[in-house]
Amino acid sequence: MTNVNAVARGLSLYKMIRRPRVLFPWLVLTPILVYYAVFLIYPLVYAVWVSLHLWIIEKPDSSPFVLLQNYRDLLLPTSRFPAAFFNTLKYVAIRTVVLVPAGLLLALLLSRFVRSQRFYLFCVFAPVVCPGAAIAVLWTVLLHPRFGMINNVIMGLGLPRQGFLTSADQALYAIVGVDIWQNMGFGAVIFLAGLLGIPEQFIEAARIDGANRWQLFWKVTLPLLAPTTLFVTVITLIGAFQVFDLILVMTDGGPGYATYVLSYLIYNEGMLRNNMGSATAIALIMFIIIMLFTRLEFRLMRPRWEY
């Protein structure tokens, strides 16, 4: 770990004043660290503090201290937490499991083109750069049960009209679908970069040794993409937990509680129901869950890291 003597010597004030090269980094970093302390660390700590109270926004100082009651209340039958929790798990699972292979597949496809690559990349990545609100609005219109284009196409094929966002069964999946549509390009670009980073020699050597396309992919390409895959999976996972724009604009958590996810619940509970204590409790639980998932992720992928 860090040698205390070395730290003390490095932080010596005399050195800093006489040599600008030592002073400069601290000159820059001090405001930066202060900023982080104020806008990142403090909110975290504050969140823990708030979650231990029945927080009253207007008179925060008179909020009753209730220790873990907010957390316990999440397990009440009237609580929306279980619904949101399981919906979130479903959402995260589907989004990650679909987006990561889809991204890889798209990248493999894209890597075969040279001149058309830029055009295809543009089309595939276009939804990624667009505002989530606009995408949500667009798809809400497209998925409309009566006037939406999608239903018109479906009925044109002879299939029955679907409820999509108005159906408690389909709503969550519809939103995941839109999310996947929007973000496919993101994984594709990162995988593409990873693919281009694989040295030609490996591919050539394997080919000379007689490997066919299939073996080439499974035994050479895929293992060499392991760090990229880990990265995409983690990003996709964390992104799945943070979904908010789509839920808010497309369904507002409905119908019923069918599309409630943790992030939306936090917003609803905190801002609309003014229940800051409960909301921050949920947020902290969500934080722990994400941390656990990420650690699990790293632990799973770690053994196949170096090649």
What residues numbered 230-289 form the site for other proteins, per CB under 8 A?
Answer: 231-232, 238, 241-242, 244-245, 248-249, 262-263, 266-267, 270-271, 276, 279-280, 283-284, 286-287
Binder to other proteins among 69, 89, 120, 254 (CB under 8 A)? 120
Alpha helices in 111-225, H assignment, sequence order: 117-129, 132-142, 149-156, 171-196, 200-208, 213-215, 222-224
Cα dist from 265 to 78, 164, 183, whole Å: 14, 21, 23
| φ, ψ for residue 11, nearest 5 deg | -90, 10
42 binds other proteins (CB under 8 A): yes
Binder to other proteins among 63, 96, 228, 236 (CB under 8 A)? 228
Helix (H, G, I), strand (E, B) or coil at 115: coil
C-alpha span between 161 and 264 (Å, rounded)? 28
Binder to other proteins among 17, 97, 161, 181 (CB under 8 A)? 181
Q: How far is the CB of 256 from other proteins (least distance, A)?
A: 18
Distance of CA 178 to the CA centre of its chain: 15
CB closer to other proteins, 36 vs 307: 36
The window from 70-78, 90-98, 104-112, 159-167 that contacts other proteins (CB under 8 A) reads 104-112
Secondary structure (DSSP) of 25-72: HHHHHHHHHHHHIIIIIHHHHHHHHHHTB---SSSGGGPPB-TTHHHH
85 binds other proteins (CB under 8 A): no
25 binds other proteins (CB under 8 A): yes
Per the structure block, which two tokens stand in for 104? 């890889």
C-alpha span between 199 and 54 (Å, rounded)? 58
Q: How far is the CB of 164 from other proteins (least distance, A)?
A: 14
User: What does R_g of the chain's alpha carbons equal in angstroms?
Assistant: 25
CB closer to other proteins, 97 vs 193: 193
46 binds other proteins (CB under 8 A): yes
121 binds other proteins (CB under 8 A): yes
Q: How many residues bind other proteins (CB under 8 A)?
A: 100
C-alpha span between 174 and 179 (Å, rounded)? 9
296 binds other proteins (CB under 8 A): no
109 binds other proteins (CB under 8 A): yes
21 binds other proteins (CB under 8 A): yes
Q: How far is the CB of 292 from other proteins (least distance, A)?
A: 12
Binder to other proteins among 29, 97, 159, 205 (CB under 8 A)? 29
Q: Which residues contact 210 (CB under 8 A, 6 or more apart)?
A: none
Q: How far is the CB of 119 from other proteins (least distance, A)?
A: 8
Residue with token string 């700590």? 45
Q: How far is the CB of 295 from other proteins (least distance, A)?
A: 10
Site for other proteins in 145-174 (CB under 8 A): 147, 149, 152
